[in-house]
Homo-oligomer: A and B are copies of this chain.
Amino acid sequence: MPRAPVRTTDIPPNATIRDVAAKAGVSVATVSRVFNQKGPIREATVRRVMDVAGALQYIPHAGARSLSTRSTRTIGVVLPDLHGEFFSEVIRGIDLAARESGYHLLLSGSHSDRDEMRAVVQAVRGMVDGLIVMSPDLEPSALVGELPAGIPTVLLNAKVDGRPSITIDNAGGARDVVRHLASLGHKHIAFIGGPAKNADAEQRRRGFRAGAKAHGVDPVELTGNFTEDSGYEAGKAIAAMSPRPTAVFAANDSMAIGALSAFRDARVRVPDHIALVGFDDIPIARFLDPPLTTVKVPIAELGRRGLQILLSGDTQATQAARLETSLVVRRSCGAQQSGVKQGLKQNRKSQKKR
């Protein structure tokens, strides 16, 4: 559990605002005004204070400041996990939006159960102005009880009464995939689902089923846990099926990557022998061989919008954005044959430079 705190004994104590005030021969109020550029101050005073502050290496104490202003300019981000490109992108989206607005991020990953989550959510009271919580493994109804009432909170991918949220059209995206595969003539499609209690996984599964029903396809469902390894196992199982499905829809790209790897090992060629589609459109998807057809989820946008809602100050439940998904057709589904693809091209173009 908690270890010895960081030892600060060998470090000279930092100068405080009172040190600066004393040495500059002014009051603390004046120093504060100089640093915050508030109220009228004589030019000479400003210079004197700044000189002394520089000499003393004075750096304002953000903790103390936030205590009296009641604003920390920090947002807490609580994620279930920090694994892989998906979360990395979410964080990046939030971070980008945060620095634009001059906010910091207090990050916390790996919250498997509600006790752990409550602990961290309570521990940050007074250190954050708001919270962005993504907890796909927790029942929304269970989630709501754990969130402190006094902290504005935005939920990602989960709807809870009284809290703003921002969700992804998982079911719609999944239906699009099935429709696309059906239009290519596939009648026998395997679905590699995510963890049973995961909300996103559940919605994608529902979308798959609805699509299968609507287009008269014969569905087979396997279950993974969103990791490459579980996708590999599922892929191995599918490769061994007889008759073998002609198409595979993985509930996220990581599992699609694992399945791709399994098919390669089993000498099942994608897309010639079997079509493969993922979900998320994580950055590497387009660099796979073959480039992965998948459902584009505006992942970074998810984070960005979450922060925006939080900073808008409207923490009423009225805010419930839903982000649309779009099918990105590359080569793994077999819809395109030549080397230079529309989907590939278009996507590469739209990629950010850095």
Contacts and interface: CB of A to CB of B under 8 A. Distances in A.
Interface in A51-100: 57, 59-67, 70-74, 81-85, 87-88, 91-92, 95-96, 99
Pairs A-B, 9 closest by C-beta atoms: A7-B313, A61-B126, A63-B126, A88-B88, A2-B102, A14-B150, A62-B126, A82-B92, A289-B289
25 contacts: A3-B311, A5-B73, A6-B311, A8-B152, A11-B152, A12-B149, A59-B125, A59-B148, A63-B66, A63-B67, A63-B126, A67-B67, A74-B106, A82-B88, A83-B354, A84-B85, A84-B88, A88-B88, A95-B107, A95-B109, A228-B283, A229-B351, A264-B289, A265-B340, A267-B339
Contact of A85 (B5, B10, B74, B85): B85
A101 interface: yes
A317 to B, nearest CB: 11
Interface stretch (A176-184, A206-214, A253-261): A253-261
Given A11-B149, A67-B67, A102-B2, A107 B110 contact: no
Given A2-B102, A82-B95, A123 B14 contact: no
A193 interface: no
A114 interface: no
B66 A313 contact: no
Given A10-B315, A14-B150, A122 B59 contact: yes
Interface string A8-33: 10111110000000000000000000
Given A99-B108, A149-B57, A287-B258, A126 B65 contact: yes
Contacts of A87: 88
Interface in A276-311: 283-284, 286-289, 291, 310-311
Contacts of A261: 286-287, 289, 291
Nearest to A4: B313
B105 A106 contact: yes
In the complex, the count of this chain's copies comes to 2
A99 B105 contact: no
Nearest to A348: B229
A66 to B, nearest CB: 6
A272 interface: no
A127 interface: yes
A6 B129 contact: yes
A1 interface: yes
A149 B57 CA distance: 9
A218 interface: no
